[in-house]
Structure formats: C-alpha cells, structure tokens
C-alpha cells in the first residue's frame, strides 16, 4: 500500500530536549515536505526537499532542521524545542511530474 | 509573496443543501491549485486539483471546483451535501514544477441533519 508514515504519532516533551520525528514514504517520490498545522493558520511549510541531499526552507523554518540522506526518509529535527513549537506536524511526498501530495497521518507534538 | 485566503472560517449547511467554499489566491502567475479535506483526527486527502485546461474540474466525493483567472479564485462546490462531508477544507497553491506550497487557513464545514 502506498503510504507516508510518521513516528511517533504523539509526543510530549520538555523545553530543550532534542527530538526527531521520522517520515518515510514507499512511493519512490522525489519531493518531500514538512508542514505544521495550527488553528486558524492552516498548514505552513517548514522545509522541503526535491531529492536526496537537496533541501530548502519553507515559510517557517526557524527552530527546525531536516536531512535527506535517503530518498524514502525525511526526518524533522528539533534540536532545542520550545513551547511555541507545540503543533500538529505533517509530512508529505509527491512524485514528478507534479501531482498530488500524499500526507502522513500527522504527529501531535506538545512541548512543555 | 504568494498567499491563499479562505474568507469563511466556519460554514453550516443542512444535509442535502448545496455548498460553495471560497478560495482566493495571490500569485505572480497561474499556480497549480488544490483542494484538500481533513476529517477530524485525520490527515489530508486530495479532493481535486487544477493544473491547466478546462477551468471546471471534477473531484472525488461529488465535489467540483472552478478556476476563475480574472478573480484569482478557485471555489469548491457540491450540489448536495452529505453528513459525512463535515470536515475542514483547505485550499492550496503551488508553483508549477515547484514544491513551495501555500495553504489557506481552512474552512470548517458543519452539516445539520
């Protein structure tokens, strides 16, 4: 089954404790993205990647890092999380030429 | 800068009534346009997309959308709403061939029995 998986689905952590949210897709897609969803703001793009070792900032990259060492994986790293990063995070992927983005199930992160 | 507005934060319709959700965008050229639906506690599912050609596009679940270049709009419609359509709807734009997508703030749809 074609899918995007994210882990963990729920995470509660404390300020400053480094964390990684994993994202993996099994569709051999070139493009992958991370979004955060906040009430009234919709989804905002954090980072995206157009291929292995090629990443770029989205609209809200501050406080986040990403890496794309393998085509299928695109982890999101918060090296020093803060409460304003409490949000619902989605990973997405799509292939070439442009088509629909496939979204993961989301990761709800709470930073205390 | 590109942006997407969805003027209606929350809409309530009766089951069986027609529906129109508004989406306006600001973009330098004609972008690729999308509508997604998010059911409570779920991820996002693509309803339909517009890249070029016929400005009236059909999607899944009986939805359609019309691209109007002169109004920079891409409104979503459904002739008869079902209770299962209650969800949040997001309009999104993206550059042709690019990856920097922008989403609107969403419209929450409630359906009365």
User: What share of chain A in percent tops pLDDT 90?
Assistant: 84
Where are the extended beta strands (E) located within B22-78? 24-26, 32-38, 44-50, 56-58, 64-68, 73-78
What is the residue whose two structure tokens read 């009430």?
Answer: A39
Alpha-carbon distances of A55 from A72, B13, B54, rounded to whole Å: 14, 42, 34
Handedness of CA A107, A111, B3, B9 (dihedral sign): positive
Report pLDDT for A98. 67
How near does any CA of chain A get to the CA of B102, in Å? 7
Of B92 and B40, which is predicted with more confidence? B92
Q: State the average pLDDT for chain A.
A: 93
Pair type for strands B10-14 and B32-38: unpaired
Helix, strand, or coil (residue A30): coil
Per-residue model confidence as pLDDT tens digits over A39-88: 888 899 999 998 999 999 999 999 999 999 999 999 999 999 999 999 99
How near does any CA of chain A get to the CA of B104, in Å? 6
Mean pLDDT of B44-69: 94
CB atoms inside a 10 Å sphere around CB A60: 18
CA nearest to B88, candidates B67, B103, B66, B71? B103
| Least CB–CB distance from A43: residue in B9, B46, B103 | B103
- Judged by a CB distance cut-off of 8 A, whether residue A50 touches chain B is yes
């Amino acid at each position: 089954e074609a899918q995007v998986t994210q882990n963990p689905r729920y995470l509660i952590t404390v300020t400053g404790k480094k964390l990684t949210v994993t994202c993996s897709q099994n569709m051999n897609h070139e493009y992958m993205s991370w979004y955060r969803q906040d009430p009234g703001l919709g989804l905002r793009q954090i980072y995206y990647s157009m291929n292995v070792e090629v990443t770029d900032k989205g609209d809200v990259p501050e406080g986040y890092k990403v890496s794309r060492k393998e085509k299928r994986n695109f982890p999101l790293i918060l090296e020093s999380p803060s409460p304003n990063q409490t949000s619902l995070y989605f990973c997405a992927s799509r292939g070439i030429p442009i088509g629909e983005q496939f979204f993961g199930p989301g990761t709800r992160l709470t930073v205390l | 800068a590109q942006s997407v507005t969805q003027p209606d934060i929350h809409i309530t319709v009766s089951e069986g009534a027609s529906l129109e959700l508004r989406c306006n965008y600001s973009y330098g050229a004609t972008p690729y346009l999308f509508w997604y639906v998010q059911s409570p506690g779920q991820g996002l599912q693509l309803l339909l997309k517009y890249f070029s050609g016929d400005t009236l596009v059909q999607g899944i679940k009986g939805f359609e959308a019309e691209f109007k270049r002169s109004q920079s709009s891409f409104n979503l419609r459904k002739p008869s709403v079902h209770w299962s359509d209650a969800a949040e709807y997001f309009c999104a734009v993206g550059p042709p061939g690019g990856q920097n997508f922008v989403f609107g703030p969403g419209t929450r749809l409630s359906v009365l029995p």
